[in-house]
Structure 1
Amino acid sequence: MSTDSPVRIVVVDDHPLMREGLRALVASLPDIEVVGEAGDGEAARREVQLTRPDVVVMDLHMPGTDGVTATRAILQTTPSTRVLVLTMFEDDESVFAAMRAGASGYLVKGAQQDEIIQALRSVAAGHAVFGPSVARRIIDFFTGTAQTLLTADLFPELTPRELEVLDLIAAGKSNAAIARQLVINTKTVSNHISAIFAKLQVADRAEAIVRARQAGLGNST
């Protein structure tokens, strides 16, 4: 990107008011322009192919193709484009899924306008940008116990939430017990377990427990 050219952005959000708000935010800025918008991840992928923006402002939870999947697809086909996540969600699973997909920045909706503008400029310039609450989560993760880091290295394909579920499976917890401990419903637990089996390429719970315990999991109470 030329230093004399404005930062060209595509806004991806399933709420029209949010897209309009971002357009209005940068309308008076000479160094940032909106060149496209989309309401879901698949439309975002097509829009990026057409416009080749410098930055995509990406929501995560949308109908159809979600923001994490869209981010991964966009960066595979248009690696020069940067992705700045702007979402309501700041849980570990969302943050680390976005980072694994290749996002260069992560802000939570409600961020100050100046913070969003500065993040757009910084991400376009090649920097990584994270809002204060998100940065705290990242610091907490990387300053965690050696076991936590080791486990993340052993199972890089799993999300942080899936690692939690696998740890509890290895500890012998039932789906109902896992749901109570993580304060989620049993259907969500079942979905996480199905994803774990697929990612680890194991046939059943017993095989997953063996893999997990070999990695040192299963000590949760």
Structure 2
Amino acid sequence: PAPHTGTALIVGDPTGDLRYAGEEADAVHRAFYPGGRLLGLSTGDGTPRQVADWLRGEGDEGAVLHLACHGTVAENRPRSSYLSLKGGELTAEEVTDSLPGRLGLVVLAACRSQVSGRGYNEAYSLASAFLVAGTRSVIGSLWPVPDEATSVLMFMTHHFLRREQESAARALRRAQLWVLDPDRTVPPELPPVLADRLAELDPRDLSAWAGFTHLGQ
């Protein structure tokens, strides 16, 4: 994986109905990418056009794109899967057909973002669309994921990625093992709102942490 350049776009709760996703995006932006750009409910934006323009103008091989929003799989339809952003959608087809993806990492903190809507073509998903477009690593989910638990897991993934210089795959795995560890060490940068959520997280609930997987390098 290419070294991180400091370039980042973090999008959280652009549709205004995923409060925990908004808190996740704000926490990730403040702790790990303060020089990056934050879009979503807290800033009143986060449109498909803004994400596309960023990809065309600022994305590079060390950049990070984090999207905390709704993900939908529309089986056997021309627009087979998409992310719900403010005022519109970003589809897998748009990513592969018209958007550059020269990024180091894309984090799709959204439901079923690694599930295909194209019948037997199981490889075609939002996650694999970013790989096709040129992204080195993509993190996505295999099933509907709970908003509150996902916010903690995603924060810790970025923690291991940025603070301990892990690869994306190892950062995700370490975050999942951290959730399972009753003797885990909580980093001081974890915001109180996420720390409170961690106390209520049941590691025996597989939906809380096991649905996310990594593709790419």
- Using the size of structure 2 for normalisation, the TM-score is 0.44
Of structures 1 and 2, the one scoring higher in RCO (CA 8 A, sep 6+) is: 2
Structure of greater Rg: 1
TM-score by length of 1: 0.43
Structure with greater proportional helix content: 1
